[in-house]
Structure 1
Amino acid sequence: MRILVLGGTWFLGRAVAEAALARGWEVTVFHRGRTGTPPDGARTVHGDRTVAADLARLAGEGRWDAVVDTSAGELPPRDVLAGARLLEPVAGRYVFTSTVNAYRGWPDEPLSEDSLLLDGPPDADGDYGRLPADWDGPDWYYGRQKAGAERAVTSAFGAALTVILRPGVILGPGEYVGRLPWWLHRAEQGGRMIAPGSPEKAIQPVDVRDVADFALLQATAEGGGAYNCAAPVGHSTMGDFLTACVLATGGEAQLVWAPDKLLVDHGVSQWTELPLWRTHAGVWRVDSTRAQAAGLTCRPLSETVADTWAWLRGGGAPVTHPRQAEHGIAPEKEASLLAVLGRTDQPPRAS
């Protein structure tokens, strides 16, 4: 099996390349050489996927059985389209990593693969979907861009040879966004620690290695389709998650559960100041049964947490990603919330 990984040096892309090499596959990694390095054993082609000459040179290195695209990131649909068109003659199928943001109803509604997608033409530029500064409604810009990128790949390869993966939150070793690393570092500090919402709140993060395995499974499958890549509803809770963070880092932190209303009333930014906390009804109600039926398996969240802590202690990411700065509540703000909650002698609520 010969695969091309677009990306291959950070997080999901590297996990895909590593998993493919472990299977004995021949792996080519296309990246710019700016962040991280591909795993040993992968063949490297340097280039920028927004540069037509680089893409043409890459296509000349083919043929591959499949492309696994993990690096579209902030690329506009038209750049994804240009690359897919150049690769279509030299690749058998295309596995594209999108996001649940492509759904019009996320994060407010429960979702399945049959849910309505946002608009987004396959040839849209980076300005498509931007909203005026005074807009006070939902910001669908990113989702429109990703929905357009999905259509770009499908238009180039056809529905039968295109697989769309729509993850929600991906965690695990190599995470550069900073959600799980922030919680682990906070738990390491010990003391009374704000725990958002309810310990019984179901959450659905998925391990990066499980997404990588599923991507490779789809690279060898027949037919196309779209799959929500999330852990099953009920797989884990916020209590499970934070307890695992405390245990992995030594067990010194004490969880102090803060109700949603208190956090909202005190202006805590959802999704960032307390990562993974969000009150929207659909954020953790993503139906992934289709992916599970197609072979997605999800390891225990406690394993993801423990392995990420081991990775962080071993040095962590070689490059600091700018999104890390978005995550985490300031110590002073956390202290003020803890003061409001009071009852310092009350043990943390069991998860």
Structure 2
Amino acid sequence: MLNLTLTVSAADYMWDSVLRKGGVVVEIRWLEAFIAVAEELHFGRAAARLNLAQSPLSQTIRRLERELGTSLFDRSTRSVSLTPAGHALLPHARRVFEELELGRQASRATDGVVYGTVSIGFSGALNHLTLPPLTRAVRQRYPDVTLSLTGRVMTRDGVEQVERGALDIVFVGLPLEPSPVCTRLIGKERLGVALPIDHPLAGETEVDLGDLAEDGFITLPLDVGSSLAQLTAQACANAGFRPRIVQEITDPYMILTLVSAGVGVALMAQGVQHIMPASSVFVPLRGEPTYMRHALAWLPDNPSPVLKAVLEIAEEVLPTPAD
């Protein structure tokens, strides 16, 4: 088993494209070749991806294995697979290139140019009032910034992805479980109910949640850490019943589609009333309001200058609402 940790900083990276760490000398292009083969699991496809012939690629991998003193791939005439050592090396090799990209971003930031990629996770329809203003403002202000957007990201999963560096920013619902991430409230929406248009209460201006105790509910999955699913369960408990779940689905807009199809009813934030599908209606709940609290979450020690710039724009276009 390979026990290897590679950490690249300004002092570690040599501008002759060689990484020197703990007596190991590794050329950056060797790691690039390793990543390509590890992702393709095919030397021919990896060579084409790198615009190399297959023979030089194989020689590069063998040089890397000799320098590290271990095999990174199990090779046969029919397949290529990572060894345990290869699996151990892969995330660290990727980190080398992530750190180099951060270095490029930082060097350009000193000239006043914000450049690079920021990855943003969001749930879908629940963010239709908050995601577009942010992405539009970023594109207008910083045309050299690339936005990598990932949908259907629930709160708990999004926080975990931010913690491990897979996402830079995620839209979440508050409150969160204890976590190292920072959050900032960006919106509050009252919960209401989405009903099929032929539901007996569809024509009301307000409904009591308790009047829906016999209905089937469509929700986001509770086990993926959806804040809306948690709010649904809590609001129904406060109304004196446990909701009968007839369908769980990770896409909020698909929940509305199933409501319009007559599959059940769903509690939703009031912002969806502007995007309700045909054959469905949004009706506010009567009584003490239950709010869905929208927030942004990020790691405070993320060194990306792009993240800092995007968060500054978010403060302008998505200010914290007054209580």
Confirm or deny a common fold (TM above 0.5). no
Structure with the higher fraction of residues in strand conformation? 2
**TM superposition score normalised by structure 2:** 0.25
